[in-house]
Amino acid sequence: MTGGPAAGHDDGAEAVRSGRLTRAPYRREPYVRAGIGPETVDGKAIAWTRAEVQVKWVDRDGAMRTAWVPASAVRRISRDESAWRDPYDDYAFYYPDGAADAAE
């Protein structure tokens, strides 16, 4: 599996030029579960259009990966549901009632 764009995808450049790309604020990206090839990975949605989501995750070897995935293969999950949690998260954003202390 590569960390590059999906086959036939232009890595989001056209979406950026057209203004159709959405990004969440850094450290506040939504957690997602995505089907990437034969695997299902838990990661974060770092950018998206109506048709595709750029997912960031850590692979089995511990390397950070990103890939553009069809939106239909991506489902939003909570941080607590994710098998991988970004250590740089804005905890107050994910746990506004202070539940981060219990989650750690």
Task: For 33-87, write each residue's pLDDT tens digit.
Answer: 999 999 999 999 999 999 999 999 999 999 999 999 999 999 999 999 999 999 9
Q: What was the pLDDT predicted at 98?
A: 81
Q: What was the pLDDT predicted at 20?
A: 87
Q: What was the pLDDT predicted at 44?
A: 98
Q: What was the pLDDT predicted at 7?
A: 43
CATH number of 13-103: 2.30.30
Rounded CA-CA distance 96/33 in Å is 22
Q: Mapping DSSP to helix (H, G, I), strand (E, B) and coil, where does residue 24 land?
A: coil
pTM (global) more than 0.85: no
Q: How many CB atoms lie within 10 A of CB 18?
A: 9
Q: What is the mean pLDDT of residues 81-101?
A: 88
The arrangement of strands across the sheet holding 31-36 comes to 64-70, 52-58, 39-48, 31-36, 74-76
